[in-house]
Structure 1
Amino acid sequence: MILISADIETQIIDDIMQQIVSKTIEHGEKLPSENELAKKYKVPRMTVRNALTKLEERGYIYSLQGKGRYLKEESTQIQLHLTGKTSFTDKMKEAGYDLKTHNIICEKISFNEQLFQNVNAGKEDNVYKIGRLRYINDEPIAIHYSYVSEKMFPKIEVDGPKIESMFGYYRKLGYKGFTSKKSLLSITFPTSDEQQLLSCKSMVPLIVVESDCIDINTNKVLEHTKILYRSDKFKYDITMD
């Protein structure tokens, strides 16, 4: 049977992935050159280049100009509970990770029926989007977006740009305990802006977790949360607390 170029491209990807999984290729090791792979598979260099480009887009390898392509160093796997009553900041500090947070956005959003309903806001109310970029060991790993109603937090326009931990902010306002409604998990791929923020390629999947944060004492919804996690930086523990 004669394999067409696309079939061989897939075969090259599968073969290299198998070598990665079986640890035949070590992290940081240089991959065979385009010429070597083209000769091995008896295909044009362009077919090999396309296969390697896809592996690079998926975040498995990287290239150094004039030197070749290398298998990425092994990622730090971070155990993260996707459910629970503790903030991301507290979880990471308790686990001993070097966490840094940068506030990247505080803006009033246009009316969105579902989002506004989530935070008990009407069409005439203002809802703000607070974004924080999370780093561990100086690597960007997650973007946290919190949607909060100005009706619930009258000073959010002023306070928002300075917030790094929403739970910390709520505690300062007298809220002590938190819970959540159902959490929704989905998969997406990063936009160009998210690629830049997270230092990842377009084909690195992002795990999206959405939920509402609720004050235990009053049962009031404090925020709707949407978190984008780099899928190559975590192992996931979804055990209920």
Structure 2
Amino acid sequence: MIKKNFPIPIYYQIIELIQEQIEKGELKPGDSLPSEREFAEKYQISRMTVRQAFTQLVNNGYLHRLQGKGTFVAEQKIEQTLHGLTSFTEDMIARGMEPGSELIHFEIIPATSQIARQLAIKEYGPVYEMKRIRLADDVPMALETNYISANLIKGLTEQIVNQSLYAYIENQLNFRIDHASQIIESSVANQMESQHLHIQKGAPVMRIQRNTFLQNGTPVELVKSSYRADRYKFMIQMKR
């Protein structure tokens, strides 16, 4: 219920009302909302106020607009915590989702100077380069490029990569993956990301570089990923 004689601004009450309906499941992903005019007439408020609330909900990822069709409830974002080192497969299983990968590139290449430095190997040394589309319930979530030393992690095949890379490294090769560092920055989708993630070119993405290390400090993996900003968010807990 919208209360006009209330200290909380009306546009913010609209935001809270719609967010609550989404969180309770009264509004589901894909459901259409009334037009700004219909919403304004229903609650006897200005269309400008409704537009302000809808725009904020779009910016916050609760709604999305389709040109000429209206405003709809968006798919809710997957939340990943940043206080532990887990694989994409482990993250999706923990959320009750079906993880998947579509391998679009796999070959051994000579390491560039930058890749060699990140993996602590000689320049031009052999590295696996693999590009995968990471899926959750068959929906593209991320475009991921991995670089791994072929002299360290031996025997990788397309079949292994299509399953769980971390499981192979730890269970089959008996290496212990210990820690990683990550850099996260915002960007916009290029043509390749647009094509493989099913988003518009220029749509917001989160670019992540992860350097993963074994227990003895040896770099085992360099990963460069682009995550859909409309479907993914990261959460970190901090203690003083």
User: By the TM > 0.5 criterion, same fold?
Assistant: yes
Contact 1:103 1:162 in 2 (8 A): no
Structure 1 distance, partners of 2:97, 2:78, is 9
| Same amino acid, percent of matched pairs | 20
1:45-90, Cα deviation, whole Å (9 max, x unpaired): xxxxxxxxxx9xx993224xxxx32224321221102352221211
TM-score by length of 1: 0.68
1:13-41, Cα deviation, whole Å (9 max, x unpaired): xxxxx9995777x85237579xxxxxx99
More RCO (CA 8 Å, sep 6+): 1
Structure 2 distance, partners of 1:209, 1:83, is 15
Structure 1 distance, partners of 2:222, 2:98, is 26
RMSD of the TM alignment (CA)? 3.3
Could you say which residue in structure 2 is the equivalent of 1:60?
64
Q: Per the alignment, in what secondary structure is the counterpart of residue 185 of structure 2?
A: strand
Contact 2:178 2:214 in 1 (8 A): yes
Could you say which residue in structure 2 is the equivalent of 1:6?
none
Structure 1 distance, partners of 2:122, 2:141, is 34
Q: Per the alignment, in what secondary structure is the counterpart of residue 60 of structure 1?
A: strand
Structure 2 distance, partners of 1:20, 1:219, is 52
Could you say which residue in structure 2 is the equivalent of 1:189?
188
Structure 1 distance, partners of 2:100, 2:14, is 31
- Measured after TM superposition, the shift of residue 173 of structure 1 is 2.9
Matched, 1:115 2:119: no
Contact 2:110 2:124 in 1 (8 A): no
What stretches of structure 2 of length at least 5 have no aligned partner? Answer: 1-11, 19-26, 38-46, 49-57
Matched, 1:79 2:79: yes
Q: Give the partner amino acid of 2:165.
A: M
Q: Give the partner amino acid of 1:210.
A: Q
Alpha-carbon distance change, 195 to 110 in structure 1, aligned in 2, over 3 angstroms? farther
Alpha-carbon distance change, 106 to 161 in structure 1, aligned in 2, over 3 angstroms? farther
Equivalent residue runs for 1:1-241 within 5 Å: 27-29=31-33, 60-63=64-67, 68-109=68-109, 111-156=111-156, 159-160=157-158, 162-164=160-162, 165-175=164-174, 177-216=176-215, 218-239=216-237
1:110-155, Cα deviation, whole Å (9 max, x unpaired): 6432222111221231222212212223221112221111221243
What stretches of structure 1 of length at least 5 have no aligned partner? Answer: 1-17, 34-39, 42-54
Alpha-carbon distance change, 161 to 115 in structure 1, aligned in 2, over 3 angstroms? farther
Structure 1 distance, partners of 2:221, 2:213, is 7
Alpha-carbon distance change, 208 to 20 in structure 1, aligned in 2, over 3 angstroms? farther
Structure 2 distance, partners of 1:183, 1:98, is 25
- Count of matched residue positions in the alignment of Structure 1 and Structure 2: 197
Alpha-carbon distance change, 174 to 70 in structure 1, aligned in 2, over 3 angstroms? same
